[in-house]
Amino acid sequence: MPSPSCDIPSLIKSQALSLGFDACGFAAASPVDDKAIAQYDRWIEQGHNGCMQWAAGHRDLRRDPSMLLEGAQTVISLAMNYYPSRFQPDETLRVAYYAYGRDYHEVLREKLMKMAHFIEQITHCATRPCVDSAPIRERYWAQRAGLGFIGRNNCLIIPGKGSYFFLGEIITTAQLPPDDPCEMTCGDCGRCAQACPSGALNNEGAADCSRCLSCLLIENHEDILPDWVDGVIDNKVVGCDDCQLCCPHNASALATTVEDFSPTEAVMTMTRQRVESMTSGEFKRTFAHSAISRLRYKTLKRNAALTDSKHQ
């Protein structure tokens, strides 16, 4: 139990670092600002959430995180690096870096639970940890808590560190001093919009998820994808990193030290032939603790069948 003179915000931030988080910041748990609400509403109205129908739900909760925990005072935003130290061999089908290792939901949930327990002990306040488990606008809160800014590629970019970060939040009834929001922007760079193989990004930073390969390959479970996907999928089978790979903020990304995010054997050997011969039972066993399990067996097979046949 810290003495009254202890600096609770500093204790929380140093605990986050010791648990393996790379950044931690605080924002007041007030409603999302009008401009961000209008942007989101327009994105939904234009159908740019694509197959992510869930994004249209719980609009009231997305607007006000204090509805997620009675008496909420602060949103604590946390980021953890997943940039790999090893990469897939050339002959394998591309898996987005976020899915290389153990399912980040599992890893972050464990760490967030430890953080939440620590915060409850030192503040005697309630907490609610979130890792894709509540309708909260995590990049918005990360920007407001000073972690970084939202790039045109729609990723949270941490200045000097890049965008290969998982985000998590802890909503708490503890009143913590808000950090200054990050005011950086992409400036006149537009490399991600140029690099996007399917034209899903525009220069204003709006992503049309109905054209985003990452969304289509992961969230769309129809038997058949739109015809145009065939011409742009190349060797991608799980997600797409193109708009991060080209971003200058990732030029000096450092490899994660979290062993759980190292690429699994299944990822390092994922050829088209390997996916084609995989049984449903093998899929379940192999990806039981991987974000790839969320794709579903049939979706992985569908994606692999579409990839360029040179990646056999």
Point out which span in 34-42, 64-72, 146-154, 175-183 binds ligand SF4 (CB under 6 A): 146-154
Q: Is residue 198 near ligand SF4 by the rule CB under 6 A?
A: yes
Q: Is residue 55 near ligand SF4 by the rule CB under 6 A?
A: no
Count of C-beta atoms within a 10 Å radius of residue 257: 10
Residue with tokens 């399912």: 103
Q: Three-state DSSP class for 296? A: coil
CA 43/CA 224 separation, integer angstroms:
25
The CA dihedral of 47, 51, 57, 60, to the nearest 10 degrees, is -50
Q: Is residue 189 near ligand SF4 by the rule CB under 6 A?
A: yes
Q: Is residue 88 near ligand SF4 by the rule CB under 6 A?
A: no
Residue 107 or 207: the one with the smaller Cβ distance to ligand SF4 is 207
CA 103/CA 99 separation, integer angstroms:
7
Q: Is residue 207 near ligand SF4 by the rule CB under 6 A?
A: yes
Is residue 132 flagged as an active site residue? yes
Q: Is residue 248 near ligand SF4 by the rule CB under 6 A?
A: yes
Q: At closest approach, how far in Å is the CB of 213 from ligand SF4? A: 4
**Residue of 231, 251, 247, 239 whose CA lies nearest to 195:** 247
CA 100/CA 121 separation, integer angstroms:
34
Among the residues of 29-175, which ranges form H helices? Answer: 34-45, 59-63, 104-123, 138-144
Q: Which x/- pattern, by CB under 6 A, does the window 92-131 give for ligand SF4?
A: ----------------------------------------
Point out which span in 56-64, 164-172, 212-220, 276-284 binds ligand SF4 (CB under 6 A): 212-220
Cα-flanking dihedrals φ and ψ of residue 74, to 5°? -140, 140
Residue 56 or 184: the one with the smaller Cβ distance to ligand SF4 is 184
CA 154/CA 204 separation, integer angstroms:
10
Residue with tokens 């509805």: 67
Residue 181 or 190: the one with the smaller Cβ distance to ligand SF4 is 190
Q: Which of 191, 289, 294, 296 binds ligand SF4 (CB under 6 A)?
A: 191
Q: Which of 201, 258, 292, 300 binds ligand SF4 (CB under 6 A)?
A: 201
CA 244/CA 30 separation, integer angstroms:
30
Residue 277 carries which side chain, given as an amino acid letter? S
Q: Which of 24, 72, 156, 200 binds ligand SF4 (CB under 6 A)?
A: 200
**Residue in 7, 34, 64, 132 annotated catalytic:** 132
Q: Which of 76, 134, 156, 247 binds ligand SF4 (CB under 6 A)?
A: 247
CA 165/CA 250 separation, integer angstroms:
11
Q: Is residue 162 near ligand SF4 by the rule CB under 6 A?
A: no
Binding site for ligand SF4 (CB under 6 A): 151-153, 186, 189-192, 196-198, 200-201, 207, 212-214, 240, 242-243, 246-249
Catalytic annotation, residues: 132
